[in-house]
């Protein structure tokens, strides 16, 4: 049985994580094709003991390919996603291009794996902050519907790519050396600073990242009644997004019930040690597949014990992007 | 007219900020007394062109003193606060020792200055996160009572003192040099990491910082009905706490009304430039007296336009501690 896999955007942060995970998980591909922009085309790379020459992504890149993992810009996905689908391969697209398209399933394997079956050649991978927030919320929502979520994020700079990590390193060193850091990737210096998420801001005052968390969650949950309000913030962390999530449920719920449900939930690991003040942190979630969940507490500001607070940390390059896409590819296989 | 002021804990982060602010604001003291623990006693220091020898805080430190600014541990305040009050001076205490004592006023000058009059020799200065969150919320609450607040904090390490700032610097350098950082002040490394607040955790799962924000706000607002739920988190920032605050009001309210009310509110500066993605940040709030407020948006997850989201940043050593105490002292004068 042959299984040919193309990786579009192989040189990026998520593209590189695709390779790590394909290897780690023994993905059953028989052949790989490494694709990138003209800038990287022609470069040689090694993967699983084999030499590859990176090819420039083009209209004929997908002939004979079975699965294409895309991690490029929305513009690239919009152009080449349909071409790849037309060529007969299934695209798992990490961009926002098709996420809200009614004909494209938007999938988190722990939540709505069945949606994969409805694909017409393209399956969308949700936004990183969406995935990290909802993997632990879904099993609770299934048991006791969540009426409203209030979310504040603590997002790593690497959500904006490799160069943002380099910039954080450089700016931090500049500050330590007594220099004024100069921002490039972001509008503001990220060294020892927090700032509102760098995505575009709409008429209603919400940035694109915040709107994604609302709209994508409703689509993935198949529930347009769930209310969600979000504030997305960048923090000087290399990798792993954290989220402070306040949940209002339909019926009463206790922290013990939450712990019980989450201890059996896939993709979730409880880190909730009050005695040692040990809770989810980027330093421990980075490089992990699971979303860490802790600070599980009753929210006493909501009547009848219908409120719960949690704090989560998830590697946004792994489960927030590459891992989720590869889990989708595994379901396709 | 003579006005003798003692500073207890003058060598600490807040103690040093007291000096900066007393100078900056031309505080009308005629004489100062510099007090600290035995470790710093005997050291010489200069203030406003005069030489001082730091004295060890003791039972006779307050004879003839009019106002004592305390920024020491709760234990020190508990012991020496009543001794100072007994000696006839008014103590403005920055510790948590007397904040919830029914006989001690807990004061934010922009909110409840009249409470000062009820003092019996001690006035408590609220917790930094409490002050920073409620200075902008109070003018809104007065106009349209807040029913419920959901708060997530982004707290600077310097809330734990000077040594925490040094530790952040050192750990960041260690990470840049490829070494494993070793935590001292906190249980976890603060370099490129976020973690749950380092205060003790109670039976209900909330840490002391979170409980302070609830209990102190109710006392300062004189309103035991306001519901508040908080998640307190440390971020790798030297100075300035940020807070993501979700507000549920009694009556409908628009972002324009919020802007209008806050533009006239004391101690608050609106930084809410959507076009340039310019909102409150530690890099701009540090060293400022005002609390910066931005990301003012309708919360569409609450019915009838009764919800608002804001994001605030305030220098927790200034308005969150030293400035608020000195404003209280100014009212006393």
E-state strands within A104-219? 122-124, 146-154, 195-196
Residue A325 has φ and ψ, to the nearest 5°, of -65, -40
Question: Using an 8 Å Cβ cutoff, are B212 and B133 in contact?
Answer: no
Q: What is the pLDDT of residues B8-56, one digit of tens each?
A: 999 999 999 999 999 999 999 999 999 999 999 999 999 999 999 999 9
Three-state DSSP class for A81?
A: helix
Closest in A201, A235, A300 to B277, CB measured: A201
Mean pLDDT across chain A, nearest whole number? 97
Task: Look at residue A161 in the predicted model and tell me its pLDDT.
Answer: 85
Task: Look at residue B1 in the predicted model and tell me its pLDDT.
Answer: 84
Question: Using an 8 Å Cβ cutoff, are A161 and A13 in contact?
Answer: yes
Distance (Å, rounded) from C-alpha A158 to C-alpha A198?
12
Question: Using an 8 Å Cβ cutoff, are A85 and A198 in contact?
Answer: no
In a 13 Å sphere around the CA of A4, the CA atoms on its Cβ side amount to: 12
Cβ atoms within 10 Å, residue A227: 18
Res. B159: pLDDT tops 90:
no
pTM for the whole structure: 0.97
Cβ-Cβ contacts under 8 Å, A198 against chain B: 277
Nearest CA among A18, A16, A128 for reference residue A67: A18
Nearest CA among A330, A105, A22, A227 for reference residue B150: A227
Nearest CA among B124, B2, B118 for reference residue B70: B124
Q: What percent of chain A has pLDDT over 70?
A: 100
Mean pLDDT across chain B, nearest whole number? 97
Catalytic residue IDs of A? 128, 241
Q: How far is CA A64 from the centre of its chain?
A: 28
Which domains occur in chain B, in start order? 4-126+321-332 (3.40.50.720), 130-316 (3.30.360.10)
ipTM: 0.96
Binning pLDDT at 50, 70 and 90, where does residue B161 land?
A: confident
Distance (Å, rounded) from C-alpha B72 to C-alpha B239?
19
Cβ-Cβ contacts under 8 Å, B246 against chain A: 150, 229, 231, 246
One DSSP character per residue, B100-165 reads T-TTS-B--TTT-GGGGGG-SSEEEPPPHHHHHHHHHHHHHHHHS-EEEEEEEEEB-GGGG-HHHH
Question: Using an 8 Å Cβ cutoff, are A99 and A216 in contact?
Answer: yes
Put simply, the answer to whether B244 touches A198 (Cβ < 8 Å) is: no
Residue A92 has φ and ψ, to the nearest 5°, of -105, 110
DSSP 8-state secondary structure symbol assigned to residue A179? P
Mutate to test the interface with B, among A244, A248, A296, A312 (most CBs of B within 10 A): A244
Question: Using an 8 Å Cβ cutoff, are B57 and B95 in contact?
Answer: no
Q: What is the pLDDT of residues A114-172, one digit of tens each?
A: 999 999 999 999 999 999 999 999 999 999 999 999 999 999 999 888 899 999 999 99
């Amino acid at each position: 049985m042959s299984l040919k896999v193309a990786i579009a955007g192989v040189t990026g942060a998520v593209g590189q994580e695709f390779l790590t995970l394909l290897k780690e998980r023994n993905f059953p591909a028989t052949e790989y094709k490494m694709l990138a922009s003209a800038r990287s085309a022609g470069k040689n790379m090694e993967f699983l003991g084999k030499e590859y020459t990176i090819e420039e992504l083009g209209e004929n890149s997908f002939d004979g390919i079975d699965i294409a993992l895309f991690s490029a810009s929305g513009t690239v996905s919009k152009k080449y996603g349909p071409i790849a689908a037309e060529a007969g391969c299934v695209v798992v697209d990490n961009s926002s291009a098709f996420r809200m398209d009614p004909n494209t399933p938007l999938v988190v394997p722990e939540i709505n794996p069945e949606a994969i079956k409805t694909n017409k050649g393209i399956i969308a991978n949700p936004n990183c902050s969406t995935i990290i927030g909802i993997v632990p919320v879904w099993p609770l929502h299934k048991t006791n519907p969540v009426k409203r979520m209030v979310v504040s994020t603590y997002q790593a700079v690497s959500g904006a790519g490799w160069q943002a990590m380099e910039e954080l390193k450089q700016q931090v060193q500049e500050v330590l050396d007594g220099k004024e850091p100069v921002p490039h990737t972001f509008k503001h210096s990220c060294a020892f600073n927090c700032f509102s998420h760098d995505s575009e801001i709409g008429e209603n005052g919400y940035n694109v990242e915040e709107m994604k968390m609302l709209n994508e969650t409703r689509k993935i949950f198949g529930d347009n009644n769930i209310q969600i309000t979000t504030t997305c913030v960048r923090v000087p962390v290399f990798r792993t997004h954290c989220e402070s999530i306040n949940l209002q449920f339909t019926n009463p719920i206790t922290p013990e019930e939450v712990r019980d449900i989450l201890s059996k939930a896939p993709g979730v690991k409880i880190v909730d040690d009050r005695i040692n003040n040990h809770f989810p942190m980027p330093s421990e979630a980075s490089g992990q597949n699971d979303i860490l969940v802790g600070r599980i507490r009753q929210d006493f500001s909501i009547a009848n014990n219908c409120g719960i607070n949690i704090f989560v940390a998830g590697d946004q390059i792994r489960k927030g992007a590459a891992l989720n896409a590869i889990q989708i590819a595994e379901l396709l296989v």
